[in-house]
Amino acid sequence: MSLCRHTARARWSALVAFLICLPAGAARAVDPVVSNVAFAQRTDGSRLVDVTYDLADADGDACAITLQASDDGGATWIMPCTRTWGDAGPAVAPGPGKALVWDFGYDNSGWEGKDYRVRVIASDAGVLHPQHSPANYAINDWITADFSAPSALEKYARAEIVVLTAHYLWGNAENEALRVLDGIRAVNPSCKIVGYVSAKNTALAWETPSERYPMTHLWWERTLPYWSYTTAGDTLQDWYGKVTLNILQPGCRDAIVSTIVDMQRASNNKFDGVFWDYFNPALWIAPGVTFEGEPDLDGDGISHWVDPNEIAAWRAAQVSLVCALQDSLGPDFLQIFNGQRAYADSAFAALGDGMFFEAFPELFFPRPYTMASAMSPSYSNNLFRLREWPRKTNGGPYQIYASTQLNYYYDYLGLLQIINLGNQFRIVALLTDGYTAWCPGGNWNYGWTNVDASLGPPLGPTVIEGINYSRDFKYGRVEMIMDVGYHPDPFDYTIFVNGRTVERFARPYHFP
Ligand SMILES: [Ca+2]
Ligand SMILES: [Ca+2]
């Protein structure tokens, strides 16, 4: 039990009035306006809170109404606040005298205080904005997204960090006009938005200029002199349709960095940083990509993989690339590293603001017990240790756990269910101060989490006793039991909010 938890019933401050107007997307006609918010707790012992407000929307849209609550006078808005009824939820018609009820006792058993506030958030794009905490949600979306839909900006804004492919935002006429990144930040000013850029290749298809995505041909043109070749003189490819660039050459690094810098400076869509895809300790070639001979970036006739000088030069070139971008865009420009180099090289990791764990936990962590390794204090490169390496000066580190896989199981009712990796990785994130990612091809496809959990800040480090992991938070607790230890169902877990189970997974059992 935390020291700041009390058992008496709540007392309430006398007045509150907050209204939140979500910003307009381009297609949004008129934003809703919430006014005259007031609330009072009933005195009948039910602990129910009545909230009244007026909702206006000039073009008559029904609005998604979310109630948020603060117990610190409005400094934070992460108090658990999930059970509401009346004029709350996905479709509330505008009008005066709206009334909703919040079951404070259900959400916050045992709490009392004096500095409570509530605010009513109205979205005429149909997006609910329930609290989540700690701020450990990410959206990882490398595909083209239609930001003209009014709901798009609001959906992305629910995350604290968003990774979007840079060349879809930089120079694309529609997205330039929409000022997509400003739109996301207007909803969530603390959201960090980073642009996915390649650290090592160019697409053959980018030879053809694209009117929609002008950065692609610029990248192709500028990096054209710096293709890599094999011992047989063949063009080196490391991915389907992509040519490996020879970053050993200073001109190649200049081309990459100057293109990023030029696009960032010219664009209306100014990213908070980049997501480099990716930095490995040595070249990796995707299975099925074929070429004659062996990779040979330094042209000495010796294969990359048995050429220590070449590998050393390649690693030094990665450092030069990162440092050159920092020299141009400054130390507060985020650099997040995908790839396995940062997982094992603390000095390299320290150049950036975080690591991306692609296909988590199946890359890097020793098989077969990949998740058990990632979470084990006895494994040298466990997540608790890796988190200490990146810079912490830009709000990070941003340790992002992601997988696009969909995995299924039959539950205790015999129904086919998806193992929700976003929810599973949230447990890892809560225990390691990382970020769970909702991503295309995977969790993002079936939306945001199906379980809203607002736990507040952690009260201390994760406690590990054998296979039992637990951590207490201001409003709740996470418990995890490392079961088989490997993907896709490595452990059982429970999230409690103020003593109430809000999510539990112990295959085949799940709640909800
Ligand atoms: Ca409207
Ligand atoms: Ca060589």
Residue in the structure block whose two tokens are 């006793």? 465
Name the pairing type of β-strands 435-438 and 398-401: parallel
Spacing, Cα 161 to ligand 1 middle (Å)? 27
Q: Say how many Å lie between the CA of residue 292 and the centre of ligand 2.
A: 15
Residues 6+ apart with CB under 8 A from 169: 175, 180, 181, 195, 267, 269, 271
Question: Ligand 1 mean position to 33 CA, how many Å?
Answer: 9
At 339, is the secondary structure helix, strand, or coil? Answer: coil
Q: How far apart are the first and last CA of the chain?
A: 25
Which residues have a beta carbon within 5 Å of ligand 2, which is an ion? 296, 298, 300, 302, 307, 310
How many whole angstroms from 199 Cα to the centroid of ligand 2? 20
Res 16 pLDDT > 70: no
Q: Which amino acid would we find at residue 249?
A: Q
pLDDT at residue 446 in the model: 58
CA 130 to ligand 1 center in whole angstroms: 20
Q: Are 421 and 443 in contact (CB under 8 A)?
A: yes
User: Could you state, in order of their start, the residue ranges of all structural domains in the chain?
Assistant: 19-123, 137-455
pLDDT in tens, 293-309: 999 999 999 999 999 99
Superfamily covering domain 137-455: Aldolase class I (3.20.20.70)
Which amino acid appears at position 26 of this protein? A
Chain CA centroid to CA 479, Å: 22
Share of the chain above pLDDT 70, in %: 93
User: What separation in Å is there between the alpha carbon of 452 and the centre of ligand 1?
Assistant: 26
Supply φ then ψ for residue 103, to 5 degrees: -85, 85
Instruction: Report the alpha-carbon distance of residue 203 to residue 219 in Å, rounded.
Output: 9
Task: Considering every ligand atom shown, identify the ligand nearest to the alpha carbon of residue 308 and give its number.
Answer: 2
Q: How far is the CA of 59 from the centre of ligand 2 (A)?
A: 66
Q: Name 269's Cβ contacts closer than 8 Å, sequence gap at least 6.
A: 169, 170, 175, 176, 179, 180, 181, 182
Q: Ligand 2 centre and the CA of 365: distance in Å?
A: 28
Strands (E), 271-429: 273-277, 334-338, 354-357, 398-401, 407-410, 416-419
Contact by Cβ (8 Å): 113, 410:
no
- Distance, CA 20 to ligand 1 centroid (Å)? 14
Task: Find the ligand nearest to 229 CA.
Answer: 2
Ligand nearest to the CA of 94: 1
- How do residues 418-465 score in pLDDT, each as one tens digit? 999 999 999 999 999 999 998 866 555 656 788 999 999 999 999 999
Say how far apart CA 172 and CA 182 lie, in whole Å: 15
